[in-house]
Amino acid sequence: MLAVALTALALAAPADPPVKAASIPERWLLKLAPKELPKLPEPFSKTTWTQAYNPRAGGGWNEWFAFAPEAGEVTVTRQNFRFPGVDVDAKGVTVRTAPLAVQGVLVEFDRKLYTVALSEWKSSEGKVTPLLNLGAAVEVRPNVWYQAFSDALEKGKFKVTELQVEFAADPRKKDEGKVTVRKHMRMLDETEGETTEFEGTFAKKEFGSRVGVEITGFVKKPGAEPTPARLWLQQAADEVPAKFNLAPTVRLAAASDPTPQPQPAPGLVQPPKKP
């Protein structure tokens, strides 16, 4: 009787609460990420995005990306072609899913880390195409820009870099002023990284049709001579997002064509039907 009562009590006991997954800053050991990040743009998960690889020699591909933050996955569809619109491999469509993590404007998939931003490209005919920029500097509070990104190095090594730049005055309105730069870099297979900080100056400059901010200063380390440092922040304009020159960028465009579907696998052979 006692055993039955204990069993009933055990069955009635509440289950342990689910373990909360570690956040992106916790898993990537980020040091400069703000606690409050801007919200992810809504079209990120409501739009199918695409990119193409089209080498001169032929043998390129198109890829379609469907991000599902609530499900924690991204679906990537690829279709190969000889040349754009020529010899498209309709039967060789491949589909894969990968884990996806999103925290504010921080996005992680395929073991890569990005800060993301939306922009638009306008054609000469006036057609507007939304763009998703995987790799952008984001204004996290007034006059403070933040960007986190990962890089693939030689021999399978990876590093993660964070940049946080705080301007004393709005660099979009002032031509020059003072600035504080913080940078943290860590090899992905190491627990500790290196953080540097310096006080410098900024000056607005133009390179061709682009306007940005050149940041200069000196990094001081104990027992070493000051090292000159230079950083470029591209200002957002048209289809180009704000971006630091050290960071790679992947630009996806809103898909205008439906995502191709893979051919169904052939079934088992059956005998012919009798007449």
pLDDT at residue number 207: 79
Assign 9 a pLDDT band (cuts: 50, 70, 90).
very low
CA within 13 Å, CB half, 189: 6
pLDDT of 131 above 80: yes
**C-alpha pair distances (Å), 70 with each of 25, 33, 38, 77, 99:** 19, 22, 18, 19, 11
Model confidence over 150-175: pLDDT tens digits?
998 888 899 999 999 999 999 999 99
Question: Is 162 within 8 Å of 197 (Cβ atoms)?
Answer: no
- Please name which of 253, 29, 30 lies closest in space to residue 147, comparing C-alpha atoms: 30
Cα distance between residue 62 and residue 51, in whole Å? 6
Does the pLDDT value for residue 10 go beyond 60? Answer: no
Mind listing the pLDDT tens digit for each residue in 239-271?
Answer: 889 999 989 889 999 998 889 888 787 889 888
